[in-house]
Amino acid sequence: MTAIGPRIRTLAMVLGTAAALGAPLAQAQGDPKVLRVVPHSNLAILDPIWTTQYMARNHGYMIYDTLFGTDEKSKIQPQMVESWTISPDNRLYTFKLRAGLEFHDGKPVTGEDVIASLARWGKRDAMGQKLFTFVQKMDAPAADSFRIFLGEACGFVLEALGKPSSNAPFIMPKRVADTDAFKQIEDYTGSGPYAFKRDEYKPGDKAVYVKFAKYQPRKEPPSGTAGGKRVYVDRVEWNLALRDAQSQVNAIAKGEIDILEQPAFESYAALKADPNVTIVNNNPLGFQYMLRFNHLHAPFNNAKIRQAATAALNQEAFLKAQVGIKEYYHSCPSMFTCNTPYGVTKGSEIQSKSNMKKAQELLKASGYDGTPVVIMKPTDLASITKLPDVAAQLLRQAGFKVDLQSMDWNTVVSRRAKKDPPAQGGWNIFATAWVSPDIWNPLTNAAVNGLGDKGWFGWSTDEELEKLRDQFARATDDAKKKTMAEAIQARAFEIGTHAPLGEYINPAAVRKGISGLVTGPGNFYWNIKKQ
CA angle 33, 38, 43 (to 5 degrees): 105
Q: Which of 438, 468, 418, 412 is nearest to 294 (CA)?
A: 418
What's residue 510's pLDDT? 97
Which strands form 259-260's sheet, in the order they lie side by side? 194-196, 206-211, 235-239, 34-38, 259-260, 508-511, 277-280
Percent of the chain that is helix, strand, coil (3-state, to 5): 30, 20, 50
- CB of 205 closer than 8 Å to CB of 241: yes
pTM over 0.85: yes
Q: What is the pLDDT of residues 71-105, one digit of tens each?
A: 999 999 999 999 999 999 999 999 999 999 999 99
Q: Report the distance separating Cα 488 and Cα 342, nearest Å.
A: 11
Strand bridging mode 373-378 / 402-407: parallel
pLDDT category at 19 given cuts 50, 70, 90 is very low
Residue type, 260: L
Average pLDDT over residues 178-200: 98
What's residue 17's pLDDT? 32
What's residue 30's pLDDT? 55
| Helix (H), strand (E), coil (C) string for 21-82 | CCCCHHHCCCCCCEEEEECCCCCCCCCCCCCCCHHHHHHHHHHCCECEEECCCCCEEECCEE
Q: Report the distance separating Cα 504 and Cα 286, nearest Å.
A: 6
Residue 18 has pLDDT above 60, yes or no: no
Q: Report the distance separating Cα 79 and Cα 301, nearest Å.
A: 43
What is the set of domains in the chain, with CATH numbers? 25-63+195-283+508-530 (3.40.190.10), 68-176 (3.90.76.10), 287-504 (3.10.105.10)
Residue 20 has pLDDT above 50, yes or no: no
What's residue 525's pLDDT? 93
pLDDT category at 226 given cuts 50, 70, 90 is very high
Q: What are phi and psi of 197, to 5 degrees?
A: -90, 85
Average pLDDT over residues 470-486: 93
Task: Give the helix/strand (H/E) hosting 238.
Answer: strand 235-239
Strand bridging mode 135-139 / 259-260: unpaired
Q: 185-203 burial, b for 16+ CB within 10 Å, e for fewer?
A: beebbbbbbbbbbeeebee
What's residue 523's pLDDT? 87
Q: Report the distance separating Cα 520 and Cα 70, nearest Å.
A: 9
Task: Give the helix/strand (H/E) hosting 137.
Answer: strand 135-139
- CB of 434 closer than 8 Å to CB of 393: no
What's residue 393's pLDDT? 98
Residue 135 has pLDDT above 80, yes or no: yes
Q: What are phi and psi of 211, to 5 degrees?
A: -60, 130
Residue 214 has pLDDT above 50, yes or no: yes
> 436: which residues sit within 8 A by CB, 6+ positions away?
1, 283, 285, 286, 287, 288, 337, 340, 521
Q: What is the pLDDT of residues 367-417, one digit of tens each?
A: 999 999 999 999 999 999 999 999 999 999 999 999 999 999 999 999 999
CA dihedral 70, 73, 76, 82 (to 10 degrees): -80
Q: Which of 282, 288, 281 is nearest to 338 (CA)?
A: 288
| Helix (H), strand (E), coil (C) string for 373-398 | EEEEEECCCCCCCCHHHHHHHHHHHH
- CB of 41 closer than 8 Å to CB of 409: yes
Neighbours of 157 (CB within 10 A): 20
Q: Which of 380, 424, 388 is nearest to 405 (CA)?
A: 388
Q: How far is CA 275 from the centre of its chain?
A: 32
Q: Which of 208, 180, 243 is nearest to 40 (CA)?
A: 243
What's residue 415's pLDDT? 97
Q: Report the distance separating Cα 283 and Cα 286, nearest Å.
A: 5
Q: Report the distance separating Cα 239 and Cα 241, nearest Å.
A: 6
Q: Where do the H-state alpha helices sit in 295-435?
A: 303-312, 315-322, 349-352, 356-366, 387-398, 409-415
> 275: which residues sit within 8 A by CB, 6+ positions away?
none
Average pLDDT over residues 508-519: 93
Burial class for 275, CB neighbours closer than 10 Å (0-12, 13-18, 19+): exposed
Average pLDDT over residues 263-291: 96
Strand bridging mode 34-38 / 235-239: parallel
What's residue 6's pLDDT? 34
Residue 330 has pLDDT above 80, yes or no: yes
Return the bridge partners of 93, or none. Answer: 86, 148
Q: Report the distance separating Cα 329 and Cα 241, nearest Å.
A: 28
> 402: which residues sit within 8 A by CB, 6+ positions away?
372, 373, 375, 392, 395, 396
- CB of 163 closer than 8 Å to CB of 70: yes
What's residue 492's pLDDT? 98
Average pLDDT over residues 457-468: 98
Residue % of the chain over a pLDDT of 70: 94
Which strands form 92-97's sheet, in the order they lie side by side? 81-86, 92-97, 145-150, 135-139
